[in-house]
Structures are given as structure tokens and as C-alpha cells.
Amino acid sequence: MRVAIIGAGVAGLASARRCLENDFEPIVYERSKGVGGTWVYDERTGIDEFGLPIHTSMYQNLMTNLPKELMDFPDFPYTGLDNVSYLKSCQVQEYIEQFAEHFGLNKHIRFCSLVTSVEKLTNNWEVTVEDLKTKTSKTEYYNAVMVCNGHNALPFTPDIPGNNDFDGIQIHSHSYRIPEHFTNLNVLIIGSGPSGVDICSDVSKIANQVYFSHHKPELIEKDFPKNVIHKPDVEHFSKKSVSFKDKTEQTLDAIIYCTGYKITLPFLKPSCGINVLNDKLITPLYKNIINMNNPTMGFIGYLNLTFVFRIFDLQVRYYLEFLRKNSSSRLDCMIKTMTPVSTHFLGENMLNYCKSLLLDKIKVEPIPPVYFEIYNGCHKLKDKYYRSYHSSVVRIIDNDDYVMEFDAEN
Ligand code: FAD
């Protein structure tokens, strides 16, 4: 089976590896020059050398929010990092490059290749790709398509009254790179997802005052730096200031919107049978993976609130087994019994989601319980020690057990 894989980030590489192990024939199309996707740090923002929007959202000082023990692919541990668990983004990027090298994936990847169109034909898929270096297009045909283009690249910025009148700096976290651009400024951070909390800490090291607008009361209790002031939602902006819903007003130099991303699948033509609802939900997807209108198209990596490397890998193994076991007539039959998912957020449903993949008469090896234990343990530690949890070290004992070393005093 010839499989087109769109994207060479974590999801695309996990897909290529398992395709090769299971006698599928993968070709990976990657628009950039290398593997890693969002883990590739690029000091540029805006557009790249090919005139395309920069894909990565990585910033220079990012430390992972999960330990490396939850950021590895099965059978390929990190090496030489025994006494640290939380890593800099460049260490993750290096690991991803080693993974691609180790499993011989690079020769199956066409770099600088932008997928511009995917059409469903009666018996196969037509994939059109632009070679960004030569500016020429080519069409190829596949039995299956795995969509792995990531969902942290197209910023969502809310429309807040007056934001067009504000004459200071306004950026989205997608374009945040280094705190130095905000030296001695009064900065407003909007949004308290992982990027909001993290960028708030990063900027506060160098900014004058940081106003952190969010609606999570539990964050107010936390030990944020002294120049961070928690604020409710913004009511409106004017030329040089912001008014909040608590009726206070502050002068401002810069706004950083940490307000998340929109899902974008511009290359999928209507014949694929996929819609994106409100920029948030790909539908109809079974188990967040299978295109229910055309099951030989799978989506890998469209999950939030989870540990991605191993769970993407589980999605891939599930999907390839599904393709292997089901002839096209059986696929049509199976679809009738499927119901589509209504969210890509897993959170506390993560374990149930993974178990549900194993219940489908599709035999794939489960993720050992210890990884779910570590995930829960790390979240508890992070909630309590949000400024120092990065110094903790996780040691896996066996498939059920681990220890966490952490010195609360330091
Ligand atoms: P991506 O990494 O986005 O890769 C998609 C690839 O597809 C890219 O290489 C892109 O160039 C390519 N592509 C897109 N469109 C096309 C096209 N039309 N044609 C060809 N190629 C195309 N996860 C963690 O586990 N721990 C963390 O600490 C963590 N921190 C994060 C911090 C930030 C700032 C962000 C944004 C995410 C973080 N994540 C973290 C989540 C991260 O997104 C995942 O770890 C993972 O890298 C997602 O991989 P992906 O392959 O789905 O997408």
C-alpha cells in the first residue's frame, strides 16, 4: 500500500516509522528543509524563504512542560541525559533528528515539498505537491493518506474592541521568540494556556510590568514573579492603554496574544469529505483518527492535553492495523457503526481514549500504565511548584512503577 504522509513533525515521523515496519510504502511530504515541525526553532517570524508563513511556534527559552520520559518514541530513549527530565527545545529537536536518522526515515521524505491539493478519486488518492525550490508541481497517486500537518501554526487572535487603535506592539505567541524585545516595557499577556503561563514568566524577567489577563482563579494563588499582575478579561483598548472588566485601566507598550490556534487543512478538497467546524473540530473523525467519509484517510496528531509522542505512535499503529485488516468493502460496512468525535481535547479522558483504541478488535500493543502515572504525577507537581517543577527528575522502574526526584527547598 502506497501511503502519502503530509508533514515530517512528530506525527509524520511516527507514521513513517510504523509504515516501514509494517510493509506499507510511505512517502512523506515536508514543506520545510528538515524534520521536527514545531520543534525547529527559527528566529524569523512572518514568512520564510519560499514566501510561506513560518510554521514553527517555538521560542528560544522554551523548557518542555513534560519530562523527556513522556516525550520519547517507543524503543528509542534519549541518550546522555540521565539526570535531567525537562529539556530545552533544541534537545528535543536533536532527539527527533536522531530518531529520523536511526529509523532511516530521511530517504522517504521529500523536503521543500508543499502539498497543495488532495483529491479522493474512485479507488485512490490524488496528491499534488509543489516543489518549493523549482516552483514546479507534480501529481502522484496513493492508496492511503495520513494527514500530519500539525495544529499549532495558524494563530487565533480574538477581536477585542479597540485593538486596531492600539499603537504599541501586538503579536501572537506564534511569533514570540525572545523576551529581549520587551525590555522595560509594560506588557499584556492574554490567555493562560501553557504558552500564556510560560511566556508570562519568560517576559517578566525583563519587562517592567506584566499584566496577565485570564480567568483561572487558581493561577492567582501561584507564586508568579512580583512584576506580574493578574487581571480579568480585557474590555477594550485605546491608543496607549487597556481597560479591564474590573474597571481598571493601565498604560501599555505591548500585547502578546496567547490565545491558541486554528485548525487549517487548505489542501483537502471537498472530495475528501472533511469539514473543519469553527476552525476547531475536524469532522467526521472516528477515534480522532479515521475519516469516516473516506477511511483510507487518517489524521494523526490532532489531540490536545496529552503526552504526544507515544499517543501519536499508538494512533499510527491503530490506523495501520485498521488499514491492514480491512478491505475496502469492509471499510464501508464498518463506517455504519462508527460515531464521530466531538472534541480533540483529551485531558482526563486520555486513558479511556487509549483503552478505546484497544477495544476495537484491532490488536495493538497498549502504552504501559507507568506513562499515565507519570503524566498525572507531573501535573500534580507542576500545579504545586509551577516555578521549580522543571528541576524534578523522573526515573522509570518498570512498566508499572516510577520514582520522581524533587527537592522542594530548591
Ligand atoms: P508539527 O510539529 O506542527 O509538524 C507538522 C509538519 O507538517 C511541519 O513540519 C510542517 O512544515 C508540515 N506541513 C504543514 N503543512 C504542510 C503541507 N501542506 N505540505 C507539506 N508539509 C506540511 N508537546 C510536548 O509533548 N511537550 C512540550 O513541552 C510541548 N511544548 C510545546 C510548545 C509549543 C510552543 C508548541 C506550539 C507545542 C508544544 N508541544 C509540546 C506540542 C507539540 O505540538 C507536539 O509535541 C508535536 O510536536 C506536534 O507534532 P505534529 O507532527 O503534530 O505537528
Q: What is the pLDDT of residues 248-303, one digit of tens each?
A: 999 999 999 999 999 999 999 999 999 999 999 999 999 999 999 999 999 999 99
Q: Within a 10 A sphere around the Cβ of 261, how many other Cβ atoms?
A: 20
Per-residue pLDDT tens over the stretch 352-401: 898 888 877 777 899 999 999 999 999 999 988 888 999 999 999 999 99
pLDDT of residue 356: 87
CA of 221 to the centre of ligand 1 (A): 32
Per-residue pLDDT tens over the stretch 98-145: 999 999 999 999 999 999 999 999 999 999 999 999 999 999 999 999
Residue type (1 letter), 115? V
Instruction: Report whether residue 30 contacts ligand 1, using a CB cutoff of 6 Å.
Output: yes
pLDDT of residue 64: 97
Residue 331: pLDDT band with limits 50, 70, 90: low
pLDDT of residue 357: 86
CA of 153 to the centre of ligand 1 (A): 8
Residue 269 Cα to chain centre, angstroms: 23
CA of 20 to the centre of ligand 1 (A): 22
Smallest CA separation from ligand 1 atom 52, residue: 150
d(CA 237, CA 161): 6
d(CA 127, CA 124): 10
Residue 328: pLDDT band with limits 50, 70, 90: low
Smallest CA separation from ligand 1 atom 3, residue: 150
Residue 339: pLDDT band with limits 50, 70, 90: confident
d(CA 202, CA 43): 16
CA of 8 to the centre of ligand 1 (A): 9
Cβ proximity of 240 and 250 under 8 Å: no
Is residue 185's pLDDT more than 80?
yes
Mean of the per-residue pLDDT values of the chain: 95
Residue 329: pLDDT band with limits 50, 70, 90: low
Q: Which atom of ligand 1 is nearest to the CA of 151?
A: 3
Lowest-pLDDT range of 36-40, 184-188, 338-342, 391-395: 338-342
Question: Of all residues in the chain, what percent carry a pLDDT higher than 70?
Answer: 97
Cross-strand pairs, 154: 262
CA of 161 to the centre of ligand 1 (A): 32
Helices 350-358, 308-325: axis angle to 10 degrees equals 20
CA of 133 to the centre of ligand 1 (A): 23
pLDDT of residue 92: 98
Please indicate whether residue 218 or residue 227 has the higher confidence score (pLDDT): 227
Pairing of strands 144-147, 154-155: unpaired
CA of 235 to the centre of ligand 1 (A): 33
Mean pLDDT of 68-94: 97
Instruction: Report whether residue 179 contacts ligand 1, using a CB cutoff of 6 Å.
Output: no
Q: Within a 10 A sphere around the Cβ of 99, how many other Cβ atoms?
A: 20
Please indicate whether residue 50 or residue 338 has the higher confidence score (pLDDT): 50
Smallest CA separation from ligand 1 atom 27, residue: 64
Mean pLDDT of 83-106: 98
pLDDT of residue 17: 98
Instruction: Report whether residue 150 contacts ligand 1, using a CB cutoff of 6 Å.
Output: yes
Instruction: Report whether residue 64 contacts ligand 1, using a CB cutoff of 6 Å.
Output: yes
**Model's pTM, two decimal places?**
0.97
Is residue 406's pLDDT more than 90?
yes
